[in-house]
């Protein structure tokens, strides 16, 4: 590659040739490059230094074997990963995902998104992501513990409070963080904030469990404000029923909206009366303690359950995809638009396929991309790091106020870089605003 590239197809050909067979990574880079390349054309210093080519190449990728013994004494083998994607503006920061679908493509897409997301928060954090194809579903606590200990026995040598600070993601919640951090502390014989999402008794931050969902709702409220609307009385679809979905639902209820769906990988429930505080408590116990299926909600509260389906055909005002990548296809996007949905705020990472994002853009609805809308989680992880370094704990009110301010600032940045003729392209705004800060740091470092 001799010439400086400015054309999207040319750039994607280059990227796909360098990283073949990684469709999710290609998708994430395409969505960003489409918005950033025209900006780079007007800023030749970035093109000359080949910043986008450099930013799409991870600083390093660590892959390792994780061997552990199940409860029957059988030897099990999984693969562990940590993608340290870009450390230009701070220690690598991003979650660990434990799910059978995990592969390098998915972790590179997540790590790449994380660079720009972390930059948007305004906090000094680089981008990274990791995980394993281990499936915690159906495993005993003892098996999950042995897996986590084995995983950390390799990962610990690559991370550190000033190097790389992992957190949770799909399949990695409070239980897994406890086992992982416990093993880290034991191996290093030191207590540092090298992981976030920790329990409150050992260095965790108040509001961290709530932060991604709450932040997403705050972001949606900011988007609505630009059209003179509020959340009050709006009918909302939420997908997933894990961490992000639960706290999105909690904040939506709190602000007067009506949530009518939740889902898991087996199907979705539709409760036209709306999920109340009491019903949400049932979901939290079901998912976080009993590790059951969302169908039990329908059995308990006598509403409809749709096995094997996603909620996007249900009429709504607002949609909060909070399960996984590519859960809204072009067909789903059409159904949402036809049924009157005018805001989609992504709690999950890249839940909308490329084709579906185009439909939302054409329809000019309020479309908040994950790197902006779900940045509240990593922002509060950043504040957990701050509290750990200062060896103090902020109150719930202090942290929630900071979360709200950060989400407002992210929204302002989107408006600054994404608005033309009264319409805000939040995808463009988030991508360019996130890119500029990292790009400027990379320029300052020279050729490294």
Q: Verify binding: residue 347, ligand NDP, rule CB under 6 A.
A: yes
Q: Verify binding: residue 170, ligand NDP, rule CB under 6 A.
A: yes
Query: Rounded to the nearest 5°, which phi and psi values hold at 131?
Result: 150, -155
Among 51, 102, 180, 244, binds ligand NDP (CB under 6 A): 244
How many C-beta neighbours within 10 Å does residue 44 have?
11
Q: Verify binding: residue 265, ligand NDP, rule CB under 6 A.
A: yes
Q: Verify binding: residue 349, ligand NDP, rule CB under 6 A.
A: yes
Apex CA 420: angle with CA 415 and CA 426, to 5°? 40
Q: Which residues are annotated as catalytic?
A: 129
> What DSSP element (H or E) covers 79?
strand 75-86
Question: How far apart (Å, rounded) are the C-alpha atoms in residues 258 and 322?
Answer: 16
Q: Verify binding: residue 323, ligand NDP, rule CB under 6 A.
A: yes
Q: Verify binding: residue 264, ligand NDP, rule CB under 6 A.
A: yes
Among 235, 248, 353, 374, binds ligand NDP (CB under 6 A): 374
Q: Provide, rounded to whole angstroms, the least separation between the CB of residue 232 and ligand NDP.
A: 25
Closer to ligand NDP at the Cβ: 374 or 413? 374
In terms of C-beta density within 10 A (0-12 exposed, 13-18 middle, 19 or more buried), how is residue 134 classed?
buried
Residues 6+ positions from 278 with CB-CB distance below 8 Å: none
Q: Verify binding: residue 215, ligand NDP, rule CB under 6 A.
A: no
Q: Provide, rounded to whole angstroms, the least separation between the CB of residue 216 and ligand NDP.
A: 9
Q: Provide, rounded to whole angstroms, the least separation between the CB of residue 110 and ligand NDP.
A: 6
Question: How far apart (Å, rounded) are the C-alpha atoms in residues 192 and 161?
Answer: 6
Tokens 């050729």, located at residue: 447
* Residue, CB closest to ligand NDP: 242
Among 80, 128, 130, 171, binds ligand NDP (CB under 6 A): 171
Closer to ligand NDP at the Cβ: 80 or 111? 111
Distance of CA 137 to the CA centre of its chain: 20
| Span near ligand NDP by CB under 6 A; candidates 51-59, 250-258, 318-326, 352-360 | 318-326
Query: Rounded to the nearest 5°, which phi and psi values hold at 359?
Result: -65, -40
Q: Verify binding: residue 131, ligand NDP, rule CB under 6 A.
A: no
Question: How far apart (Å, rounded) are the C-alpha atoms in residues 141 and 139?
Answer: 7
Closer to ligand NDP at the Cβ: 212 or 345? 212
Q: Verify binding: residue 166, ligand NDP, rule CB under 6 A.
A: no
Q: Verify binding: residue 311, ligand NDP, rule CB under 6 A.
A: no
Residue 67: strand, helix, or coil: strand
Q: Verify binding: residue 322, ligand NDP, rule CB under 6 A.
A: yes
Closer to ligand NDP at the Cβ: 169 or 400? 169
User: CA dist 42 to 38, 39, 77, Å?
Assistant: 7, 5, 50
> What DSSP element (H or E) covers 362?
helix 354-363
Structure tokens at 339: 């049924």
Q: Which residues bind ligand NDP (CB under 6 A)?
A: 168-171, 173, 212, 240-245, 264-266, 322-324, 347-349, 374, 377
């Amino acid at each position: 590659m001799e010439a400086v590239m400015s054309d999207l197809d040319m750039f994607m050909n280059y990227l796909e040739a360098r990283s073949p067979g990684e469709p999710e990574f290609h998708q994430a880079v395409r969505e960003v490059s489409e918005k950033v390349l025209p900006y780079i054309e007007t800023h030749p210093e970035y093109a000359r230094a080949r910043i986008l080519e450099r930013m799409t190449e991870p600083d390093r990728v660590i892959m390792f074997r994780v061997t552990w013994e199940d409860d029957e004494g059988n030897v099990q083998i999984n693969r562990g990963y940590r993608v340290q994607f870009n450390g230009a503006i701070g220690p690598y920061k991003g979650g660990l995902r434990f799910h059978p679908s995990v592969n390098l493509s998915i972790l590179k897409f997540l790590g790449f998104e994380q660079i720009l997301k972390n930059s948007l928060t305004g906090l000094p954090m680089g981008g990274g992501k990791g995980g394993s194809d281990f499936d915690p579903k159906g495993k005993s606590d003892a098996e999950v513990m042995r897996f986590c200990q084995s995983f950390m026995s390799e990962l610990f040598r690559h991370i550190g409070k000033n190097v790389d600070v992992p957190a949770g993601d799909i399949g990695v919640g409070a239980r897994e963080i406890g086992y992982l951090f416990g093993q880290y502390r034991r191996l290093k014989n030191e207590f540092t904030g090298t992981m976030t999402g920790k329990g409150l008794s050992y260095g965790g931050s108040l509001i961290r469990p709530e932060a991604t969902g709450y932040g997403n709702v705050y972001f949606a409220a900011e988007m609505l404000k630009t059209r003179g609307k509020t959340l009050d009385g709006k009918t909302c679809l939420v997908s997933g029923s894990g961490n992000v979905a639960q706290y999105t639902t909690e904040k939506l209820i709190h602000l007067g909206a009506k949530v009518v769906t939740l889902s898991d990988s087996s199907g979705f429930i539709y409760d036209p009366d709306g999920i109340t505080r009491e019903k949400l408590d049932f979901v939290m116990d079901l998912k976080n303690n009993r590790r059951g299926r969302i169908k039990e909600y329908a059995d308990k509260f006598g509403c409809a359950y749709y096995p094997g389906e996603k909620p996007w055909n249900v009429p709504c005002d607002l949609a909060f995809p909070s399960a996984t990548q590519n859960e809204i296809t072009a067909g789903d996007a059409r159904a949402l638009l036809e049924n009157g949905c005018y805001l989609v705020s992504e709690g999950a990472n890249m839940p909308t396929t490329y084709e579906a994002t185009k439909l939302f853009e054409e329809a000019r609805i309020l479309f908040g991309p994950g790197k902006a809308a779900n940045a509240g989680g990593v922002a509060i992880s950043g504040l957990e790091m701050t509290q750990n370094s200062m060896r103090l704990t902020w109150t719930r009110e202090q942290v929630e106020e900071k979360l709200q301010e950060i989400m407002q600032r992210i929204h302002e940045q989107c408006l600054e870089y994404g608005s033309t003729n009264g319409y805000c392209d939040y995808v463009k705004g988030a991508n360019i605003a996130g890119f500029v800060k990292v790009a400027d740091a990379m320029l300052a470092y020279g050729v490294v």
